[in-house]
Amino acid sequence: METEKVQPRESVLDVGCGTGQTAAFLAERFHCQVTAIDNHPIMIAKAKERLKNNTPPIHLIEGDAENLRFADDSFDLVIAESVIVFTNISKTLSELARVLKNTGRLLIIEMTAEQILPVALQKEIRKLYGIEEVLREEEWISKLQLAGFTKIEIIKTPPALTPSEILDINQSKNIQSKFYDLLDEHQQFLLQYNHLISYRVFKCHLT
């Protein structure tokens, strides 16, 4: 985002905003008009708590990335951070293209396979994350093109994300132990397969 130069008059959509950390960052850093959506009521509740006193205010909506309730050409910048893989990818990408202004840009960071994954691993991913497929770089590009994006750039990023110290976790009460087990499984999985599964940041334009 350091190189993005978002203007205060620009409208930004953060799709799958989770607890609203990025939405808060965008509004604070760029003073732009931020809308954030997520389809999970707990995420929306946590984002609401985080963003309640935000200036400028953030428009927070419970909604589905596959069926956005915004008019065509609504946003100058659309962001999705680790969200599209959990949805019907083609449906979501065409919705993101629809709500983006012709002059706008899309920035996404998504799980990406480094090669064709063995069938057993694909099965494991389906079970652990509930996602149908992890696309390779060229498959992302082809789906982005099919959705209408013409200029697709891959932003250079470090091979692994640098862990950051997160100090503002608003943890739910009474989290069942099975969810901690799932978190452990996720962390183990990332460590074990980091040579096969990584991520890419794509910056895309419609024209």
Sites of contact with ligand SAM (CB under 6 A): 16-18, 21-22, 38-40, 43, 64-66, 81-83, 86-87
Toward ligand SAM, which CB reaches closer, 151 or 188?
188
Toward ligand SAM, which CB reaches closer, 38 or 76?
38
CB of 172 to ligand SAM, least distance (A): 13
Toward ligand SAM, which CB reaches closer, 63 or 104?
63
Toward ligand SAM, which CB reaches closer, 26 or 144?
26
CB of 42 to ligand SAM, least distance (A): 8
CB of 108 to ligand SAM, least distance (A): 10
CB 99 within 8 A of CB 72: yes
CB of 157 to ligand SAM, least distance (A): 14
82: left (phi over 0), alpha (psi -120 to 50) or beta: left
Nearest position to ligand SAM, beta carbon: 18
Dump the DSSP string for 38-68.
ES-HHHHHHHHHHHTT-SS--EEEE-BTTB-
Long-range contact pairs involving 173-182 (C-beta distance under 8 Å, separation at least 24): 182/128
Report d(CA 5, CA 90) in Å as an integer. 28
Report d(CA 95, CA 90) in Å as an integer. 9
